[in-house]
Amino acid sequence: MTYPKLAIHCLVAAALTAGCKSPTSQPAVGTQPASAVQLDKAKVATAEAAQAMEDYAFARKAEFVAKMKSELAATQEEIDRLAARIESTSGAAKDDAKAKLVLVNEKWTKTKQQLNQAENATESTWNDVKKGFKESYANVKDSIAATRLWLSEKIAP
């Protein structure tokens, strides 16, 4: 079970526990009802658990960056294979393919820059930077797949 799922289960259990009250418990005169106290405690516990999940995600930043560097290196190898395939062809489609490859390389470069931003992100910017990187990475992968498909249709294998 992943840590976020575990934290959610703990929060649910805490909320259910906080919602249960003994039938014999009576609030003292002039004090806050027990349910309100329990609700306040549950809110505090929820806030602490949410912060713990964010801290955990940020703590794994180095692991995420290392994995994505590896993924980007593999993506660059894919781009290099496409470039070699384009260079080995001739005809009118070669120029169009080179233009598509230039766009793919630009997207890869942007993704690499976003990974550098992720590596230097602070705890307060981590989630936004990570989200931006993931979107950019998905975009470059889609672009590679579209270029590969276009090549297979235009250039005989």
Domain limits, the chain? 3-22+33-58, 61-154
- Residue 102's pLDDT is 94
- Residue 69's pLDDT is 92
Answer yes or no: are the C-beta atoms of 124 and 54 closer than 8 Å: no
Angle between helices 92-119 and 126-154 (to 10 degrees): 170
Looking at per-residue pLDDT, the higher value among 155 and 104 belongs to 104
What mean pLDDT comes out for the span 141-149? Answer: 91
- pLDDT higher than 60, residue 121: yes
Answer yes or no: are the C-beta atoms of 15 and 42 closer than 8 Å: yes
- Residue 154's pLDDT is 79
- pLDDT higher than 90, residue 80: yes
Overall pTM surpassing 0.85 (yes/no): no
Average pLDDT value for the chain: 79
Sign of CA dihedral 145, 140, 75, 129: negative
- Residue 45's pLDDT is 66
Report residue 13 as tokens. 């259990």
Where does the pLDDT of residue 114 fall: very low under 50, low under 70, confident under 90, or very high at 90 and above? Answer: very high
Q: Which ranges of 60-119 does DSSP label H, i.e. alpha helix? A: 61-87, 92-119
- pLDDT higher than 90, residue 33: no
Question: Lowest mean pLDDT: which of 12-21, 33-42, 68-77, 109-118?
Answer: 12-21
Report residue 126 as tokens. 């981590």
- pLDDT higher than 70, residue 1: no
Helix then strand count (H, E) for the chain reads: 5, 0
